[in-house]
Amino acid sequence: MSYDEILILNEDRAKELVNMSEVIEAVEGAFEEYSEGEAKMPPKIYLDLPEFNGDFRAMPAYVSGYAGVKWVNVHPDNKEKSIPTVMAKVILSNPETGENLGCIEGTSLTNYRTGAAGGIASKYLAREDSDTLGLVGLGEQAKTQLMAVSEVFDLKKVLIHDVDESAVKDFMSSIDGFNFEKVSLKKVMSADIVSTTTPVRSPIIKEEWVKPGTHINAIGADAEGKQELEPQLFVQDGVKIVVDDIEQTTHSGEINVAYNEGTIDESDIYANLPDVVAGKKRGRESREEITVFDSTGLAIQDVATAKIVYERAIG
């Protein structure tokens, strides 16, 4: 493509050009590059707009030969307006010359790369014989968590829970090939792997419900003050906390409240996931330990995923 030619892909076309197995491979590679210092990623920037109950985030990165930035919003009230609560665009550039290469609608890409992170974390942190997945919150993020974890594990049962009964029905009717069981919030925690994808600000998962050997993908907390898990869980013996990025998670991830209130400090964080992927830190070390992956979403994930779509689109 010449300098004045920019690829523009809408949501439908971008979604056609991506699949979960490739995204998992790309994101896992991006994690390793980041751990080895081959990728660059400054912290995400937040534009908070409480008057609209929403915010925007700018997420730049250089990884896998591409520079890029994602511009993404989170507006929880959009659900009532039949508009996605999360919408995004990814702009890719040539890192050598600065030429713009493409602008790709990134809503599906965001869902896929977030799911991929949960799948990758489960690969390294869940028990190898895990065969049940619990899903708390049944929006788009839950779908890609299921897609990704099922790429890594042979799931015999999927336990699901949402406070919105219509969300439960929509979820079960939109996905085939899994043995779903609608259960209570407490029962969800009996699964080997649990992914939480809710927007709550007060903990809904009680520490006493989490059994030894469980792996939790804590996905929902993505802004300051949000939390899904009781903070007491993080200070229990045998609990291993793994984050995607320490600076981001202590500001806006699942651990942000516990960290900023002094319940935990950096010494309580075992590792970041990129270092686990790169083999610098061990993943699960016993059947009984409880592992928690705190995901805030990294720009390297977005650029690595957009690369797949871009290169496929240009042939």
Residues with a known catalytic role: 70
Q: Name 61's Cβ contacts closer than 8 Å, sequence gap at least 6.
A: 39, 40, 41, 67, 68, 69, 298, 299, 300, 302, 303
Burial 276-313 (b: 16+ CB within 10 A, else e): bbbeebebbeeeebbbbbbbbbbbbbbbbbbbbbbeeb
The dihedral of CA 193, 198, 204, 207: what is its sign? Answer: positive
Residue of 219, 233, 225, 227 whose CA lies nearest to 291: 233
The SS3 of residue 134 is strand
Q: Which residues fall within 8 angstroms of residue 29, CB to CB, at 6 or more apart? A: 64, 304
Cα distance between residue 294 and residue 270, in whole Å: 11
What are residue 45's DSSP bridge partners?
58
The sign of the CA dihedral 154, 140, 196, 309 is: positive
DSSP character at residue 44: P
Largest pairwise CA distance in the chain: 59
